[in-house]
Amino acid sequence: MSNLLPTIGLEVHAQVKSRSKIFCRCAVEFSNKPNINVCPVCMGFPGAMPSLNSEVVKQAVRAGLALNCEINIVSGFARKNYYYPDLPKGYQITQFKKPIAERGYIILSNKKRIRIRRLHIEEDTGKMIHDQDEDTLIDFNRAGVPLIEIVTEPDFESAEEAVDYMTRIREILRYTGVSDANMERGELRGEPNISVRKTSDSPLGTKTEIKNLNSLKAIEKGINFEIDRQSKLVAEGFEVASETMLYNDKKQEVYPMRKKESASEYRYFIEPDLPDLVLKEDFVSSMKGTLGELPEVRRERLIKQYSVSRDESWILTSEKTLADFFERSVANTGAGKRIVNFFIREIPALLNEKNVDAEKLLFTPEDLNSLLREIEREAVNLNSAQTILKRMAQTGESSEKIIRDLNLRQTNDEEKVKQLISETLAENQKEVERYRKGEEKLFGVLVGFCMKKAKGSVSPASINKHLKEMLK
């Protein structure tokens, strides 16, 4: 059975990087101790009132600008009312009719434009923890942590596009420093809404929303599962119910959780405790200057400046820290193919292996820069460079020290190279004889012998050149 055409929209929540919560001064930190960063305001004690953290406003405006949104000079807060134990006040303070930013877009890696309907500020809820005794505990450390919610138009046609969008959003939030956007820590969460229809001319089907998708993989699996489920229902003549679905990570399946709420069930109304948020025009324009280079712009520049391919530019910009590391490492070099390729081949793999961020490596971009310079002037060969890099990553020693210790410096001194070759030839007379009798394919073997004896101290090019002469 073939699936119907899916229509997908995404609601993304990102935790705004801030030292304190959105409406009080409690610290925001990733902590294992429950209920330590709490106060009357974020615990919803009687009489406590919210007062807006201006850092959150700043970051929301920056995010809006980075996502090509129009910034609303006047926006306002509203209460979203519902009962749940992790919601201390019985309502969430959010933005409803007047969000801080609207009508933006993002370009996917397949060049498709995804429209962003709105971006607004809101507070996070606490967390429910179910312990072994089947008791439910509540941790309010997260209550009042600042979030931005980014809502797209239903512009996605596949799970892959949705995942790509999440990746682009994550990249932009990290580049601008709006959020660390770490999905495992829940700093970035995506909730897709999905419907299916028979043809692109038919009206949109009834949509469902999936919650609890805590990784890119889960988003992909969850969406595909839901598309299948809805397609089957429709094919069998059933109707899709308007429901909120829950993703089960172990089974990689989605289940209906509850009937989907309509806006009126949340009894939205203007938050009387907070005046309208009024921005100054020059504040908004001054924020434009703080965005730095956004990932897509940087990719274009890297392609031009370092002659890397489009794919390579994606690799280098996958994390801002990596791109920064790259540019600092190749600074004041010729940035030729040889060292750029070396970087692209080795560094991402190294980060992957160590599972760290470029900033957390034991060596600095300046340390790597001196190794790259050695490679550039062929003072070490690429194999040696790989060895040196590994050791730098393990011990943090400088490349000079490692080169010295392991005697890995290549020589282009003609006499030394010639001496090495004649010694090698003397040790391998049989092969030399056969070569001279016409077995030309043995040349490579002889080069290999020389290389082995040189232990990287001589470049293959110079062995090649001299060996050929000396075998004549």
Partner 1 sequence: MNSFETVKRYKNLSESPVSLLDRTYEMIENDDLNDYITLTKNIAYEEAYKSEKRYKEGNPLSELDGVLFSIKDNIAVENIRMTCGSKILSDFISPYNATAVERIMKKGGIIVGKTNMDEFAMGSSNETSYFGPVKNPKNKDYVPGGSSGGSAASVASGHACISIGSDTGGSIRQPASFCGCVGFKPTYGTISRYGLTAFSSSLDTVGIASNCVADSKLAFEAVRGRDEHDSTIEDKKNDKRNYKKIGYISVIKHMDGPVREVYEKRISQLSDAFVLEEVAMDFIDVSISTYQIQTMCESSSNLARFDGIKYGLQPKEGKTLRKIYSAVRGEGFGSEVKRRILIGTYFLTERDGEYYELSFKLRDYIANQIDLLFTKVDAIVLPTSLTLPFRFDEKTTSPLQMHLSDSLTAFANLSNVPAISLNGGYIDNLPCGIQLVAKRNDDDNLLEFASTAEEIWSKNE
Using the rule CB under 8 A, which residue among 269, 354, 359, 427 binds partner 1? 269
Give, for 339, the enclosing helix (H) or strand (E).
helix 337-354
The answer to whether 119 and 102 have CB atoms below 8 angstroms apart is: yes
* First-to-final CA distance of the chain: 70
Type of residue at 23: F
Beta bridge partners of 76: none
Q: What is the DSSP letter of 20?
A: B
**Nearest-approach distance from CB 131 to partner 1, in angstroms:** 16
Using the rule CB under 8 A, which residue among 89, 168, 298, 320 binds partner 1? 89
How many amino acids of this chain bind partner 1 (CB under 8 A)? 32
**Nearest-approach distance from CB 369 to partner 1, in angstroms:** 48
Using the rule CB under 8 A, which residue among 70, 90, 238, 439 binds partner 1? 90
Using the rule CB under 8 A, which residue among 29, 70, 261, 273 binds partner 1? 273
**In this complex, which beta carbon is closest to partner 1, that of residue 23 or of residue 225?**
23
Using the rule CB under 8 A, which residue among 30, 45, 238, 255 binds partner 1? 45
Coil, strand or helix at 391: helix
**Nearest-approach distance from CB 84 to partner 1, in angstroms:** 8
Binding span for partner 1 by CB under 8 A among 77-85, 177-185, 211-219, 223-231: 77-85
User: Strand 243-248 to strand 208-211: parallel, antiparallel, or no bridges (unpaired)?
Assistant: parallel
Using the rule CB under 8 A, which residue among 11, 43, 153, 257 binds partner 1? 43
**Nearest-approach distance from CB 274 to partner 1, in angstroms:** 6
Residues 181-240 close enough to bind partner 1 by CB under 8 A: none
Residues 39-44: contacts with CB within 8 Å, 24+ apart?
41/144, 42/88, 42/140, 42/143, 42/144, 43/88, 43/140, 43/143, 44/88, 44/89, 44/90
**In this complex, which beta carbon is closest to partner 1, that of residue 149 or of residue 271?**
271
What is the DSSP annotation of 61-96?
HHHHHHTTPEEPSEE--EEEE---TT-TTSEEEE--
Residue 40 engages partner 1 in binding (rule: CB under 8 A): yes
Residue 261 engages partner 1 in binding (rule: CB under 8 A): no
Residue 170 engages partner 1 in binding (rule: CB under 8 A): no
**In this complex, which beta carbon is closest to partner 1, that of residue 80 or of residue 320?**
80
Q: At which residue do the structure tokens 């596009």 appear?
A: 161
Residue 49 engages partner 1 in binding (rule: CB under 8 A): yes
Q: What are phi and psi of 29, to 5 degrees?
A: -150, 155
Using the rule CB under 8 A, which residue among 51, 54, 202, 309 binds partner 1? 51
Q: What is the spatial distance between Cα 467 and Cα 472, in angstroms, rounded to a whole number?
A: 9
What would the two tokens of residue 121 be?
Answer: 């500020």
Other beta carbons within 10 angstroms of residue 1's beta carbon come to 8
**In this complex, which beta carbon is closest to partner 1, that of residue 40 or of residue 256?**
40
Residue 264 engages partner 1 in binding (rule: CB under 8 A): yes
With CA atoms as reference, report the closest residue to 102 among 52, 65, 55: 65
Other beta carbons within 10 angstroms of residue 227's beta carbon come to 21
Residues 6 or more apart in contact with residue 178 via CB below 8 angstroms: 14, 16, 17, 59, 60, 62, 63, 66, 148, 172
**E-state strands within 260-357:** 269-270, 277-278
Binding span for partner 1 by CB under 8 A among 37-45, 178-186, 201-209, 332-340: 37-45
Residue 85 engages partner 1 in binding (rule: CB under 8 A): yes
Q: At what angle do helices 429-436 and 414-427 cross, to 10 degrees?
A: 90
Residue 81 engages partner 1 in binding (rule: CB under 8 A): yes
Binding span for partner 1 by CB under 8 A among 112-120, 173-181, 271-279, 435-443: 271-279
Query: Within its chain, how far is the Cα of 50 from the centroid?
Result: 33
Using the rule CB under 8 A, which residue among 3, 20, 44, 284 binds partner 1? 44
**Nearest-approach distance from CB 186 to partner 1, in angstroms:** 22
Residues 107-166 close enough to bind partner 1 by CB under 8 A: 138, 140
Using the rule CB under 8 A, which residue among 256, 275, 334, 448 binds partner 1? 275
Residue 91 engages partner 1 in binding (rule: CB under 8 A): yes
Using the rule CB under 8 A, which residue among 83, 133, 184, 441 binds partner 1? 83
**Nearest-approach distance from CB 140 to partner 1, in angstroms:** 8
**Angle at alpha carbon of residue 341, lines to 337 and 347, rounded to 5°:** 145
Residue 47 engages partner 1 in binding (rule: CB under 8 A): yes
Which residues make up the interface to partner 1 (CB under 8 A)?
Answer: 40, 43-52, 79, 81, 83-85, 88-91, 138, 140, 263-265, 267-269, 272-275
